[in-house]
């Protein structure tokens, strides 16, 4: 757990109390307490192993960094965990029934967030574009409302198309149908 010479020159430790140190690096200043085994970077408490700042402080005191490792990393503890043999169960008939009744675990209660739900907009470039189809001419690229063509003349004439084309204006004047009804 030694720091390499390159890394150790980046850290400088100053004694603040009997077991408290300030460790300066190029970017930050961290405080280390060797009694409570804490560091302001929180890696010492989280992992149970001394962080770089703690190792720098331990090297000043001439203690062994392995003494500051958590007990679960000891070789004796590791050997004790593997001392007993655990036999595998092959099928469900070998399972032991629990004397306690089974408890159903429900999902946590979720509250809806306040306000209007967000709208999910589709990205037209990713999906290849949305395809609009005109119901009047069955062409892609526009819909019936934005259709610029006059209505179809013939036996399949749609009455709403006639009304709609009469309401459209081109150059300020109402459109005239090319036929009379």
Residue 66 inside a domain? The answer is yes
Q: How far apart are CA 100 and CA 11, in angstroms?
A: 56
User: How large a percentage of the chain has pLDDT more than 90?
Assistant: 23
Domain end (from 35, 52, 73): 73
**DSSP element (H, E) containing 30:** strand 29-33
- Per-residue confidence at 169, pLDDT binned at 50, 70, 90? very low
- Is residue 35 a part of any domain in this protein? yes
* pLDDT at residue 89 tops 90: no
What is the pairing mode between strands 169-170 and 12-15? unpaired
Q: Which bin fits 171, alpha (ψ -120 to 50), beta or left (φ > 0)?
A: left
Residue numbers of the domain that contains 130: 125-176
Q: Is the residue at 85 inside a domain?
A: no
Tokens of 113: 């967030």
Q: Is 106 a member of any domain?
A: no
Assign 159 to helix, strand or coil. Answer: helix
Of 47, 73, 99, the position where a domain reaches its end is 73
Domain count, the chain: 2
Which of 54, 73, 92 is the last residue before a domain boundary? 73
- 105 domain-assigned: no
Q: How far is CA 99 from CA 42, 45, 93, 95, 130, in A?
A: 42, 38, 16, 13, 60
Would residue 115 count as lying in a domain? no
Q: Give yes or no for a contact between 108 and 102, defined as CB atoms under 8 angstroms apart.
A: no
pTM: 0.45
Is a pLDDT exceeding 70 seen at residue 158?
A: no
pLDDT digits (tens, 9 = 90+) for 11-66: 899 999 888 999 998 888 999 999 999 999 999 999 999 999 999 999 888 888 88
In a domain, 107, yes or no: no
The reply to whether 19 falls in a domain is: yes
Residue 8 in tokens: 């150790």
């Amino acid at each position: 757990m030694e720091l390499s010479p390159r890394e150790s020159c980046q850290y400088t430790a100053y004694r603040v109390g009997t077991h408290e140190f300030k460790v300066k690096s190029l970017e930050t200043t961290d405080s280390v307490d060797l009694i409570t085994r804490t560091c302001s970077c929180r890696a010492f408490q989280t992992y149970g192993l001394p962080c770089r700042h703690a190792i720098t402080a331990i090297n000043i005191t001439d203690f062994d960094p392995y003494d500051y490792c958590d007990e679960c990393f000891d070789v004796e503890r590791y050997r004790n965990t593997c001392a007993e043999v655990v036999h595998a169960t092959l099928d469900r008939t070998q399972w032991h029934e629990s004397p306690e009744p089974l408890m159903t675990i429900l999902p946590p209660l979720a509250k809806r967030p306040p306000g209007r739900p967000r709208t999910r907009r589709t990205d037209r470039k990713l999906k290849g574009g949305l395809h609009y189809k005109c119901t009047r001419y069955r062409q892609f690229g526009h819909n019936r409302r934005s259709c610029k063509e006059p209505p179809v003349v013939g036996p399949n004439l749609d009455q709403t198309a006639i009304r709609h084309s009469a309401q459209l204006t081109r150059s300020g004047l109402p459109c005239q149908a090319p036929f009379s009804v």
